[in-house]
Amino acid sequence: MDNSFFAYLQQLELMAFFSAYPLVYAIMNVIFGHSKKEIVRKFPSLLPYAYALVGLLFLGLQLKNFYPDYSVEHIKAEIQQPLLYIWALLSILFFIPALAKKPVFSLLHSFVFFFFLLRDIFSPLFTTASDKNILRNEMKVYTDSLLLNLGAFAFIILLFFLFTLYKKRTNSQASN
2 backbone φψ class: left, alpha, beta (φ>0; ψ -120 to 50): beta
List the chain domain ranges.
Answer: 3-175
5-18, pLDDT tens digit by residue?
Answer: 888 899 999 999 99
Would you list the DSSP string of 82-144?
HHHHHHHHGGGGGGSHHHHT-HHHHHHHHHHHHHHHHHHHHHHHH-S---HHHHHHHHHHHHH
Per-position pLDDT tens, the chain of length 176 = 457 888 889 999 999 999 999 999 999 999 998 888 888 888 999 999 999 999 999 999 999 999 988 899 998 989 988 999 999 999 999 999 999 999 999 999 999 999 998 988 887 777 766 677 888 889 999 999 999 999 999 999 999 999 999 998 988 888 76
